Amino acid sequence: MRVVIGGGAGFVGRELTRLLRHKGHKVTVISRQPGPEKITWDELKSRGLPPCEGAVNLAGENLMNPLRWWNKSYVNDLFSSRIDTTKTLAQAIAASPSPPHSWVLVTGVACYKCSLTAEYTEDSDWTPFDLFSTLVKEWEAAALLPEDVAKSTKQVVVRSGVVLGRDGGAMKQMLPAFWLGLGGTLGSGTQPFPWIHVSDLAGLITHSLGSQTDTPPLPPLVFNGVAPALNTNYEFTKELGHVLRRPTICPVPVFVLNALMGSERAMVLTQGQKVIPKRTLEAGFQYKYPDLTSALKEIVGIN
């Protein structure tokens, strides 16, 4: 396949690009900066979509960027960086004389309301209830293709949990403290912690691109991009400490996270959802890292 990836230079994008090229596919990255095997977003708008069989959008401002914890404009950037790029790519697909077979958007599980008891599958009903669920609603709406195009282009939404990997994401920020023995639970630690290894997220996206159907589903097909293990923040914290052979006795109180990050972003860490990848499993996707132990050992380089 020829695959176009919006945001392909980011953490997940790099892993997806490596996987696709390893499988023999050709990848073109849409980026803010020009370069080999890249096009810019301005070029996409002016020249249209390059010939391709698959398109993916991963673009978006980093939610947990510590350099912007106190920057009031971050909310606007969180929305515009996701919604505008998604809309631009969807419009380019719709205007293409030969639209791709598959169009995959990666969003997040923040659409599901935080709860200690409720369990969510891809079929769970939800309505926006806060800032980030509103973001997911508008984000996914921006990806919708016109009905005539959707008859030939499969639309897929992957709702990702916290992405774990050694080259970026949440682990890059957490590992230094844990290596020093300063790791601990966030808040109470009882909150659900939906997660996925970056290799499995890249694998699920690739699986979504390649699974062809005679009649593309309407509305878009949704996959929960989370590991099948249902873990809490406490379980994650203790397992990471165990793998590193470090103590985890330094919990971070909620009020500290609220003061550092603001209550809206801190809530992503101190609350959570039990998300079940029901359709993901039913589609035959095989996880490389279905449990925390295997995922964390790979990330820290322990066999």
**What confidence tens digit (pLDDT) does each residue in 243-283 have?**
999 999 999 999 998 888 778 888 888 999 999 999 999 99
The total number of structural domains that make up the chain: 1
Nearest Cα neighbor of 57 from 109, 97, 24, 92 is 92
What are the 10-residue block averages of pLDDT along the chain, 303 residues in total? 96 97 97 92 96 97 71 84 97 97 97 96 96 96 96 96 92 92 96 98 96 69 97 98 96 90 84 97 97 96 77
Q: Which helix (H) or strand (E) holds 80?
A: helix 74-95
CATH number at residue 293: 3.40.50.720
Question: Which phi and psi (to 5°) does residue 217 adopt?
Answer: -70, 145
pLDDT in tens, 272-284: 999 999 999 999 9
Per-residue tokens: 271 = 């609350």
Domain that holds residue 130: 2-300
